[in-house]
Amino acid sequence: MSNLIEDLDMNTSFDLPSYSPSIPAPLYSCEPSLDEQRLQLTPGTAATRRTPTGSYIKRNGKITVILNEQEEGIDYPSYGRHGPINGTCGKPADAAHGNVSEAFWLHCAAS
């Protein structure tokens, strides 16, 4: 078997096809040229969109999650593409039952 592979390697030649140079890619512009038409425009960009100032708060048992920069009154948190996630997760102090020492908070941020 190895002799067959060696014979193939030594006796085989490949002729590559000829290629012509590619034409350059067209220039890109954010605005349509005179012979183009905009089909749809999504208002705002990440740079011009205002950052919400509300918080999404979810409690489950003794644990509370607070996610910042959310619209007020939402049912679920919402993030844009590549949007940062900023919030806090923890167990608040239960002063009514004297469990102040069991309180903890973990501040988180991700993007």
Q: What domain count does the chain have? A: 1
Under the banding of pLDDT at 50, 70 and 90, the label for residue 82 is confident
Under the banding of pLDDT at 50, 70 and 90, the label for residue 46 is low
Contact 67, 87 (CB under 8 A): yes
Residue 58: inside a domain = yes
Please report the pLDDT score of residue 47 as a whole number. Answer: 58
| C-alpha dihedral (34, 38, 42, 43), degrees to nearest 10 | 40
Residue 17: inside a domain = no
Residue 8: inside a domain = no
Residue 10: inside a domain = no
Residue 88: inside a domain = yes
Task: Specify the pTM.
Answer: 0.47
Residue 29: inside a domain = no
Residue 35: inside a domain = no
Residue 23: inside a domain = no
Residues in the chain: 111
